[in-house]
């Protein structure tokens, strides 16, 4: 960890607003992990990022397909939900490894299910339930991730 920041988000709209703010400081080639228990708000955060890039359609949770892709201007966002991830063979056969490249941004829910096969993230987004709303911790692991977090404070 090289930098971290914490937020209390009292409702869904605050989660979306913060995610939109982050989107304007993300670049192709970056990888973000989203951690937190079921219903913590990971997919909501992804929706906020996509809204930040101007994507207005439905954002489906890729629970069964493992990944959903969004073609934006000049790059692609891949949204993974690895809750049902089985094994490395399936990962390679489906070509998921090739999605991590410098013309895409990868947003990964449940990265812990795939363990060591994922590249390290620029930023980890950790959501947890609170009596009112959610607590959010952002942790940067790279220089690019740190720049992004510093820009939104
Ligand atoms: N800050 C917040 N305060 C209260 N509710 C929130 C907040 N952010 C998101 N939510 C709500 O939490 C619910 C679950 O959100 P979401 O589907 O994004 O969770 P998830 O972490 O992706 O779950 P899963 O692990 O099942 O994929 C949604 O109803 C959403 O509106
Ligand atoms: Mg989800």
Q: Per-residue pLDDT for 1 more than 80?
A: no
Cβ of 126 below 6 Å from ligand 1: no
Q: What is the pLDDT of residues 70-84, one digit of tens each?
A: 999 999 999 999 999
Q: What is the pLDDT of residues 16-66, one digit of tens each?
A: 999 999 999 999 999 999 999 999 999 999 999 999 999 999 999 998 899
pTM: 0.97
Give me the number of domains the chain comprises: 1
Domain boundaries, position 25 = 3-152
Atom 24 in ligand 1: residue holding the nearest Cα: 38
Domain CATH number, residue 82: 3.40.50.300
Which pLDDT score, from 0 to 100, does residue 153 have?
84
Alpha-carbon distance of 63 to 21, in angstroms, equals: 26
Q: Do the Cβ atoms of 4 and 123 come closer than 8 Å?
A: no
Cα 114 to ligand 1 centre (Å): 22
21 in helix, strand or coil? Answer: helix
Nearest atom, ligand 1, residue 110 CA: 25
Q: What is the pLDDT of residues 77-103, one digit of tens each?
A: 999 999 999 888 989 899 999 999 999
Cα 110 to ligand 2 centre (Å): 9
Q: Which tokens go with 133? A: 């709303």
């Amino acid at each position: 960890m090289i930098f971290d920041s914490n937020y209390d988000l009292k409702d869904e709209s605050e989660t979306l607003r913060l995610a939109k703010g982050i989107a304007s400081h993300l670049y192709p080639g970056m990888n973000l992990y989203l951690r937190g228990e079921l219903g913590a708000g990971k997919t909501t955060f992804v929706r906020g990022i996509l809204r930040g890039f101007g994507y207005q359609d439905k954002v489906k949770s890729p629970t069964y397909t493992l990944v959903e892709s969004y073609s934006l201007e000049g790059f692609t966002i891949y949204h993974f939900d690895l809750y049902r991830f089985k094994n490395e063979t399936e990962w390679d056969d489906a070509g998921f490894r090739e999605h991590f490249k410098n013309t895409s941004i990868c947003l990964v829910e449940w990265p812990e299910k795939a363990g060591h096969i994922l590249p390290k993230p620029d930023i980890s987004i950790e959501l947890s339930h609170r009596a009112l709303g959610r607590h959010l911790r952002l942790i940067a692991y790279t220089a690019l991730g740190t720049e992004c977090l510093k820009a939104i404070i």
